[in-house]
Amino acid sequence: MTGTMADPLSEYDTPACETLAQTVKKSLRTSDSIGISRCLQCGACTSSCPAARFTDYNPRMIIKRVMENDISVIEDESIWNCFYCYTCHLRCPRNNSPTQVVQVLKQMAINKGIGLDRLKVLFGYGDTFAEFGVSKIPDLYVGRMKDDFDIRWHEFKEDLDSVRSELGLGTVNVKDSGRGEIRAILEGIGFFKRQEKLKQMARTKKPIFESDTSNESGEITDEAN
Amino acid sequence: MKQIENIPDQGILLFKSCMVSVEYPGIESSTTYAFSKLGIDYLVSDEQSCCTGLGYYFDLFDQMSTTAIAARNFAVARKNGYTNITTLCSTCYAINKKACALLNSNDEVRLNVNSVFKEAGLDDLVYEQNSLDDVDNFYHVVEILLSKAKEIGRLNAIDFSGVRVAAHHACHYYKIQSDDMMGNPNHPLLIDTIAKSCGADVVEWYEDKTLTCGAGFSQIHVNRDLSLKVTRVKLESLKNAGVDLVLHMCPNCQIQYDRYQPVIEKEYGTKYNIVHMNIAQFVALALGADPKKVCGFKTHSVPLDDFLSRIGVSV
């Protein structure tokens, strides 16, 4: 992939190969036994896919384009409709896994700066994870949940600690004996380096498509974490 | 396929879930209540971190980082001598299984993760090849409960007869590593079997039983309309089947149904007389748990008060 900065982790999820199918097979995200080359184009994936039921996402066609080495597939917005439910993965008679293939395609897209508008709201996730050892839904989405849910949810969220202690449960955050293990592991493995690269790309590159045209600047709001 | 006689009841590390912890903490307390009642030897460790699954399926976390975090949690299990890692969430289950398989089969991954541990001075975290098995050391709580279904039925103190119950089995439990699940992935019946042992009127099949809940990790946030369309299809199908209670095995699915059912009712101008709970909350109730102090129903969005009085549980 030309034009992308090297980061140590992209070699594992999106190894540079001669063809898209080879990248898919070699990626750590896909099963060793993935049967993409054995695809019959039977359409069992598409017929059982919840995204295909309601949108123009078509996993059978995505696989066909990957096999034809059509690199433009990573710019196809429909791949972002996959639910990662793995129904295609279960139904495929040839042990192919369109949902795993799409994960690789999306990582390739992200490496090219596509879809960063979706990713940038998550940039605080890694830091929260490093500090507390737990995953947290980004504040931007929590804001929407606040609008959607009723007062019962708001009250319970304010009161989470006492609700948990009433149930005999301890704190949510991980105790790692003050060693900062999780941060050290993420640092050592190259996670923050990769995240820094993505942050930089989000700042400087205009995403190819945007779900929110009101925010054209590509600025990262740290509060949205 | 896992066999019921091989499901362990000793040395269980009850793997905490991020979404259980902050949305439905009653699932965890119900599980520990049921485990204690059933004589299951388990441990909850505050050293265990989240599995990164949310970040992984938001396309933020890569496989290597996720695997390294998993290896740290495997060390927590090992150090405490509780090596049957048993999850409350289907995504934790699949993420951990995949990480374990990679650490065993891929030398490059294992060496890379271990060298990061060593360089950080965390030698005690080093993962030795095949020290855990990706099939024999990983379970979901529903499997443990299923292995005790007869005993649960015998101890059950509630009359569930006439209660129409249906199950929503979580995709990441039975579709990702489908060879390892208990039963037939085209027609999962784990939850159904447990509910039946308690005398409930179980609806074993309804249209789209194996369709996703619709959460899709980022989809409920980024593609909200699409996500809710899928959830509505299932709610309509459950309504047509006359279901009163849907039992879940994953906090993400439970959020999607319990929290968004009122949202869908409002947006589509419809009404569902359906309540939701986790299978562990159901089993805890059956075994005599307090609906407030153990099951934690007050964090639910669809109120359960009427349902609980119908089955004779005072709230």
- Interface size between A and B, measured as CB pairs under 8 A: 212
Q: What is the CA B164 to chain-centroid distance, rounded?
A: 21
Task: Give the span between the Cα atoms of B225 and A2, in whole angstroms.
Answer: 36
> What residues in B contact A195, CB-CB < 8 Å?
60
Q: What is the pLDDT along chain B (315 residues), one digit of tens a residue?
A: 889 999 999 999 999 999 999 999 999 999 999 999 999 999 999 999 999 999 999 999 999 999 999 999 999 999 999 999 999 999 999 999 999 999 999 999 999 999 999 999 999 999 999 999 999 999 999 999 999 999 999 999 999 999 999 999 999 999 999 999 999 999 999 999 999 999 999 999 999 999 999 999 999 999 999 999 999 999 999 999 999 999 999 999 999 999 999 999 999 999 999 999 999 999 999 999 999 999 999 999 999 999 999 999 988
Task: Give the span between the Cα atoms of A28 and A104, in whole angstroms.
Answer: 9
Which residue of A56, A83, A108, A164 to mutate against B (max B Cβ within 10 Å)? A83
> What residues in B contact A89, CB-CB < 8 Å?
175-176
Of B29, B120, B229, the CB nearest to A54: B229
Please check whether residue B163 is in contact with residue B200, taking contact to mean a CB–CB distance below 8 angstroms.
yes
Residue B176 forms contact with A (CB below 8 Å): yes
pLDDT of amino acid A6: 57
pLDDT of amino acid A177: 76
Indicate yes or no: CB of B212 within 8 angstroms of CB of A50: yes
Q: How far is A162 from chain B (nearest CA, A)?
A: 11
Amino acid at B142: V
Task: Give the span between the Cα atoms of A151 and B87, in whole angstroms.
Answer: 30
Q: What angle do CA B265, B271, B274 make, to 5 degrees?
A: 105
pLDDT of amino acid A210: 37
* Arithmetic mean of pLDDT, A3-27: 88
pLDDT in tens, A36-91: 999 999 999 999 999 999 999 999 999 999 999 999 999 999 999 999 999 999 99
Task: Give the span between the Cα atoms of B15 and B89, in whole angstroms.
Answer: 9
pLDDT in tens, A213-225: 333 343 434 433 3
Indicate yes or no: CB of A167 within 8 angstroms of CB of B294: yes
Amino acid at B155: L
Q: In chain B, which residue ranges form alpha helices assigned H by DSSP?
A: 18-23, 25-37, 53-57, 63-80, 90-105, 107-119, 141-147, 149-155, 171-174, 190-197, 219-222, 224-240, 251-254, 261-268, 279-286, 305-310
User: Which residue in chain A is spatially nearest to B116 when comparing CA positions?
Assistant: A188
As for the ipTM of the complex, it is: 0.97
> What residues in A contact B72, CB-CB < 8 Å?
181-182, 185
* Terminal Cα distance for chain A, rounded: 30
Indicate yes or no: CB of B50 within 8 angstroms of CB of A12: no
Task: Give the span between the Cα atoms of A89 and B43, in whole angstroms.
Answer: 33
Task: Return the percentage of chain A with pLDDT > 70, whole number.
Answer: 88
- Structure token pair of residue B262: 């009122």
Please check whether residue B207 is in contact with residue B28, taking contact to mean a CB–CB distance below 8 angstroms.
no
**Beta-ladder partners of B13:** B43, B85
pLDDT of amino acid A205: 67
Q: How far is A5 from chain B (nearest CA, A)?
A: 16
Nearest in space to A97 (alpha carbons), one of A30, A44, A49: A30
Least confident of A95-99, A150-154, B73-77, B308-312: A150-154
Amino acid at B255: I
> Average model confidence (pLDDT) for chain A?
88
In three-state secondary structure terms, B239 is: helix
Residue B188 forms contact with A (CB below 8 Å): no
Please check whether residue B20 is in contact with residue B27, taking contact to mean a CB–CB distance below 8 angstroms.
yes
Please check whether residue A60 is in contact with residue A78, taking contact to mean a CB–CB distance below 8 angstroms.
no
For residue A115, what are the CA distances in angstroms to A4, A112, B226, B227, B252? 15, 9, 18, 19, 24
pLDDT in tens, B25-53: 999 999 999 999 999 999 999 999 999 99
Task: Give the span between the Cα atoms of B83 and A22, in whole angstroms.
Answer: 36
Task: Return the percentage of chain A with pLDDT > 90, whole number.
Answer: 69
Residue B210 forms contact with A (CB below 8 Å): yes
Residue B306 has φ and ψ, to the nearest 5°, of -65, -40
Task: Give the span between the Cα atoms of B84 and B95, in whole angstroms.
Answer: 15
pLDDT of amino acid A120: 84
pLDDT of amino acid A151: 86
pLDDT of amino acid B1: 82
pLDDT of amino acid B56: 97
Of B212, B224, B300, the CB nearest to A83: B212
Interface of B with A in 40-69 (CB under 8 A): 46-50, 52-55, 57-65, 67-69
User: Which residue in chain B is spatially nearest to A154 when comparing CA positions?
Assistant: B299
Total length of chain B: 315
Of B22, B69, B259, the CB nearest to A149: B259
* Arithmetic mean of pLDDT, A170-189: 91
Nearest in space to B106 (alpha carbons), one of A94, A12, A152: A12
